[in-house]
Amino acid sequence: MTDTNLKQGPIVALLLAGTFIAILNQTLMITAIPPIMSEMDITANSAQWLTTIFMLVNGIMIPISAFLIERFTTRQLFITAMSVFAIGTLVSGIAPNFEMLLLGRVIQSAGAGVMLPLMQTVFLMIFPVNRRGSAMGLVGLVISFAPAIGPALSGWVTSHYSWRVLFFIILPIALIDILVAFLALKNVTEVSKPKVDVLSIILSSFGFGGLLYGFTSAGNYGWFSPVTLVTLGIGGLALVLFITRQLRLKHPMLEFKVFTFAIFPHAIIIGMVGFMGLIGSETIIPLFMQNMRGFTALDAGLALLPGALISGFMAPFIGRIFDRVGARWLVITGLVIITASTFAFTKLGPATSMTFITVMYGIRMFGLSMVMMPVATAALNQLPKRLIPHGAAMDNTMKMIAASVGTAILVTVMTTSAETAKQRPEITNPDIFGANMAFMVIAVLSLITLILSLFIKNTPAAEEDTSQRRITVNMQE
């Protein structure tokens, strides 16, 4: 099906709405956890699983999404994924106990994990190369805006109503999306009916799931806790076996050969560091404001909100600029802004104002909007259509892992630096010193990706008949 005989509007609207509520659910539980703990009489560690399990199942489903996109039609996959998500939402909303609520979150995330790679793949299929930046700009808007309003919406609802209302706000949107999909959604992706390789699915689930949970455990319990060491060990071994198997299969579940195309490896690294810095900043700033400066949770949320709104507002405009000038100068400029603003966060102190945090975070998010979707779009543009589902799945999987790894590392840096600083009398605020050191790590990594971005070239997009054009060719241009 070609770009010209498709009505793009309904497809775009459906996928944006579905992905928006799927991503919104990643952060929707953050401020709802205290009332859930109170009602269901559970500990903070148990309640934290409501967010951890969503991320874990997402991380398992995203790599499988490439196989699912090739196995089922667009209509079948979207309607099934949204139906699974809606069932999970209903189960969560009526859950009589914590176990049922957790099951609902698992079902939710099983459907949600497919949505983002599916949306990216479909957009790259239905839009011509010269309009893909604008299309992916809409993806950037959803990715930026949905997680940003999650805590704010959750906080407002739980302060006025039951936390269950959160799920019953989402449910009608999911049901309407399913109904409209039955009436308006067209099949876009190419179905090749690959053989189901059960062993690959098992290895992928244990590999990516083990790593995600292992790094999350490292942030919560320490790097040398038995849970961390066992899960990281299992995850690492399973992932090595998974990659080895994919390279040997004629039709792999997840195609690792996408890394041989120009720009793709650079883009993955830049995207991973950018996403790690995003999640890391969103973790450290509230900790600094609430635990070290005495601000409220609401203050911390309000400080981060303008930055997220800026990123979401800029995404469509950045997409149009990408269509005109390509990724190179957008990414370089964005990384300069990110690096400079992150270094500003290494000077936090007991007198740091909420205004300073809000402004600098807003500037950082402005820079991030110039990096994340442009570099991902430039990378995916290099792939022939048959590899786009694999490229989108790989991009999103690596970002999920980076967020887990990054959060664990940054929390470790912050706590160990603070402990070390307590032995040094000249450091008057050890906890703040720890936060500054965590931001220093983000700043240095941003600087490294800035150097790496200099090697990005605005190479032409791949066509099917030139799909074997590899990185060695492009690097000579």
414 shares a domain with 304 = yes
Tell whether 133 and 238 lie within a shared domain.
no
Q: Are residues 184 and 218 in the same domain?
A: no
Range of the domain at 188: 1-193
CA atoms of 473 and 477, how far apart (whole Å):
7
Same domain membership, residue 43 and residue 150: yes
Please spell the DSSP secondary structure of 306-337, one letter per residue.
Answer: HHHHHHHHHHHHHHHHHHHH-SHHHHHHHHHH
Asked if residue 265 and residue 245 are part of one domain, the reply reads no
DSSP-derived secondary structure letter, 345: G
Residue bearing the bigger pLDDT, 415 or 240: 240
Do 183 and 224 lie in one domain? The reply is no
Residues 342, 468, single domain; the answer is yes
Q: What is the CATH number of the domain that holds 138?
A: 1.20.1250.20
pLDDT-based confidence at 7, cuts 50/70/90? low
- CA dist., res. 322 & res. 137, Å (int): 9
* Residues 323-347 pLDDT 10s: 888 888 889 999 999 999 999 999 9
Higher-confidence residue: 207 or 43? 207
In this predicted structure, the answer to whether residue 474 has a pLDDT above a threshold of 60 is no
Residue-by-residue DSSP string for 167-196? HHHHHHHHHHHHHHHHHHPPP-SPP--PPP
Is the pLDDT at 466 greater than 70? The verdict is: no
Whether 222 and 363 share a structural domain: no
Question: Are residues 349 and 232 part of one domain?
Answer: no
Q: Are residues 110 and 19 in the same domain?
A: yes
Q: Could you give the C-alpha distances from 102 to 52, 72, 170, in angstroms and in order?
A: 10, 28, 17
Poorest-pLDDT segment among 26-30, 54-58, 433-437: 26-30
Judge if 297 and 444 occupy the same domain. Answer: yes
User: Is residue 143 within 8 Å of residue 120, measured between CB atoms?
Assistant: no
Q: What is the C-alpha separation between 252 and 256, in angstroms, rounded?
A: 9
| pLDDT of res. 476 | 32
Write the pLDDT tens digit of every residue in 244-281: 888 888 888 888 888 888 788 888 889 889 888 887 88
Q: Which of 230, 252, 274 marks a domain boundary?
A: 252
Task: Outline where 370-387 has alpha helix (H).
Answer: 372-381
Could you give the number of structural domains in the chain?
3
Residue where one domain finishes, among candidates 203, 219, 252: 252
Q: Are residues 417 and 307 in the same domain?
A: yes
